[in-house]
Amino acid sequence: MQITIATLHLPQSTEAKEYVAKKIEKLGKFYPSIKTIEVRLIGKKSHRGQENDYYCELTIGLPKKVLEIVDVERDIEKAIDKALDRAKRVLVKTKERKVSKKHWAALAEKQKRGS
């Protein structure tokens, strides 16, 4: 699993990179055949006031599929956590679909032989 972390307009970029690196390693146990993960952390000035909005964009490369996840929050750690939670749910759902398709294909094959 190749991990790439990029930041743009973040004052605390090294701490954010370390936080993401620590959290992103856990995604491998939800879908073992992840090829690449690209993380983009972006800080933008909010249109609502003086505060910043922080974007966490995840691009997860799977065999035959690419997942894109984007989350926006006022705190960079909250944005990272929300994006990773969504990534976990999507990876589990994708893995379950893959296993379910194999299961149904095996059942259909078994019924053909039995009939």
Residues 54-97: tens digit of each pLDDT: 999 999 999 989 999 999 999 999 999 999 999 999 999 999 98
Residue 19 has pLDDT above 90, yes or no: yes
What pLDDT digit, counting tens, does each position of 32-58 carry? Answer: 899 999 999 999 887 767 788 999 999
**Entry pTM:** 0.84
User: Average per-residue pLDDT in the chain?
Assistant: 90
Nearest by Cα to 58 from 95, 85, 29? 85
Nearest by Cα to 12 from 51, 47, 54? 54
Nearest by Cα to 58 from 94, 78, 82, 75? 82
Please compute the mean of the pLDDT values over residues 18-30 and round it to a whole number: 92
Binned at pLDDT 50, 70 and 90, residue 115 comes out as low
pLDDT at 102: 79
Residues paired with residue 37 on neighbouring β-strands, in sequence order = 3, 60
**Strands of 65-73's sheet in order across:** 2-8, 36-45, 52-62, 65-73
Q: How many domains does the chain have?
A: 1
pLDDT at 88: 96
- CATH number, domain containing residue 95: 3.30.160.100
> What is the span of the domain harbouring residue 105?
2-114
**CB-side exposure of 108: number of CA atoms within 13 Å?**
6
